[in-house]
Chains A and B, each alone.
Chain A
């Protein structure tokens, strides 16, 4: 009913079993391959869940620290993407809980302010088209960022990470039906807030 999640397009970038075995042994070349294949995805998930650059960088750093520490527990027969998504979600959850996070939200100093950047591929388009795409991306990011954390998490994990509702249920510790309900509520809220983009 809700279509193919976009994350499934990443399947071609999966690491081989041999590469994952080398990651388990903390072989530096294999760690580099894992980093190169997974960094953008981890950062994007952290950024979409936390909503700002500084928090996303902190979370991404935490995730790769945890990956390094527990590399030996990696199952080489399984795609590490859901494992990484779980670690990223847990790191975001820890951050949401922290008092420091609430204090940071009150004031955003200049060195932590999100930097406006043109989206990937923008350079290939006309300036007007690039600007329009950037504005649309910002609108979408703001609307997603305004969702309650419980709804945002489910929406981001499904739409951008490509995880099935059953996998999300495992990550967030809910039943699948609850995840589906949250996903529907998230879409309903976005339907209202992005009304003008849907025409």
Chain B
């Protein structure tokens, strides 16, 4: 490596990679916590999670466009959070419908069949999204490419292009809110799991669904709630993916984001929330380190961020197949 490279990798770079990495970890944890809760409780590895994230991106983006055209202006912080919350609610509803209508029919069958079912749901959702956007003649640009100017630029109070300084390092405008949301989700889900009655039901169901049912817990309803909450969180994360520089807003965006989320869930240990949080942070920092390296050091390698995360998966699966905090019998044959 040239001496120029050595100069670039100073403490400032480390701080930036760390902070940006935590921001990415915030998004990852929003997508992956639903995935891990659903797997832990129901044993379903949800391949449709990515497609539902994309649906969240379009619902959120659409709401922003309508709120902006209503005169409120995209810059208003309050309206922006209204859109975020509404996206979460809409997606949670969609998640509940999918659980009740489709997934419920397959409990008790082989785990492979559930993977296949959610894979099919993902395909259908992607195509439906493409179809709806094609039929929606409201002057929106081609849904397969980027989507509308106000959406592309992001809210003015934290425009995607804007950055500010932390410890002498410039941080992109969205990073603090992603970190904040990630922390809120971790604290919220953790509180929900440990401090509420429903959380108790979920933990009981994860431990032994049959026994929980025998003790009078309506496990079916707990399944539906967990699925809805997981999908709601993924939908909100989808809204942020619109402004992520590594993703293009296309109907396939969520599928791209799903792969790191899967890796996080497997690396953390299927079904453990703690493992997912830790793995999200590690993967987020790996991801940003990859982006830094591919823009500054190895300019030829445009996919280094993804390659680093996949290497993380391969190494963890070889060294500790059950994941960082997983139990050995979960997820095997």
Asked whether A and B interact, the reply is: no
A residues whose Cβ falls under 8 Å from a Cβ of B: none
B residues whose Cβ falls under 8 Å from a Cβ of A: none
